[in-house]
């Protein structure tokens, strides 16, 4: 089984829909420990992505991801734009010229996106950021790949691990971003970036099942 270019487009549309549906929730999470704009910013960015997708629907997966990344950088405010934009642009570099993705290709794309987020945000696991959700998700994806799992099985495991990482941000004290200004008061709140990262992996698993 491979992930077709059309399936990639379907995933991006599903992610945009999920962000739209949960924009108020993401904003509430961000109001607790941040600027209160994560949901609105991500929704604006993903709606802009939807308008750009028809123009690249006949391109390779790498070009699609790079277009998504550039749209997010140019339309999303706060920290989310540079972080998600960098993630997708690095995913684009990893999938350049590909019209479909194997599980190995998807692992390489997620790894490249993850590395881009680390490079741009300078966050590490335990800092209470999207990295805390992506780290176990990527590890689960690699583990499933190494064990010979099929794509749906690997994606489900990655989504489940990402959710656990997201929930594990609740007791953490933030060490990066606006939330870090709150010190100990940032504990007992779920990180909004980790939550949108979970939606990213969850919609991939649901779309490519």
Q: For residue 99, what are its two tokens? A: 């019209």
Domain encompassing residue 50: 3-207
The CATH number of residue 71's host domain is: 1.25.40.340
Q: Check if the beta carbon of residue 169 is closer than 8 Å to that of residue 203.
A: no
Give the tens place of pLDDT for each residue, 29-65: 988 877 788 999 999 999 999 999 999 999 999 999 9
Count of domains observed in the chain = 1
Q: For residue 201, what are its two tokens? A: 């992996």
Alpha-carbon distance of 7 to 101, in angstroms, equals 10
Give the tens place of pLDDT for each residue, 136-188: 999 999 999 999 999 999 999 999 999 999 999 998 877 766 666 566 766 87
Instruction: Enumerate residues 6+ apart whose C-beta is below 8 A from 116.
Output: 86, 87, 89, 90, 91
Element (H, E) at 100: strand 100-101
Q: Check if the beta carbon of residue 166 is closer than 8 Å to that of residue 197.
A: yes
Please state the φ and ψ torsions of residue 3, each to the nearest 5 degrees: -100, 115
Q: For residue 9, what are its two tokens? A: 């487009």
The model's pTM: 0.94
Q: For residue 58, what are its two tokens? A: 């006949």
């Amino acid at each position: 089984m491979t992930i077709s270019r059309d399936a990639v487009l379907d995933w991006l549309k599903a992610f945009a829909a999920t962000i739209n549906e949960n924009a108020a929730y993401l904003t509430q999470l961000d109001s607790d420990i941040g600027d209160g704009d994560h949901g609105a910013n991500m929704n604006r960015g993903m709606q802009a992505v939807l308008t750009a997708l028809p123009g690249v629907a006949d391109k390779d997966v790498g070009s699609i991801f790079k277009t998504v990344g550039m749209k997010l950088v140019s339309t999303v405010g706060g920290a989310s734009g540079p972080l998600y934009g960098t993630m997708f642009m690095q995913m684009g570099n990893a999938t350049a010229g590909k019209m479909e993705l194997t599980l190995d290709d998807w692992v390489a794309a997620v790894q490249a996106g993850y590395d881009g987020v680390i490079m741009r945000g300078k966050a590490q696991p335990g800092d209470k950021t999207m990295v805390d959700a992506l780290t176990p998700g990527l590890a689960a994806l690699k583990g499933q790949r190494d064990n010979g799992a099929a794509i749906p099985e690997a994606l489900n495991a990655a989504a489940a691990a990402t959710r656990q990482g997201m929930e594990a941000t609740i007791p953490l004290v933030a060490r990066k971003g606006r939330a870090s200004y709150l010190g100990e008061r940032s504990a007992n709140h779920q990180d909004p970036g980790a939550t949108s990262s979970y939606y990213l992996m969850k919609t991939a698993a649901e779309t490519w099942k």
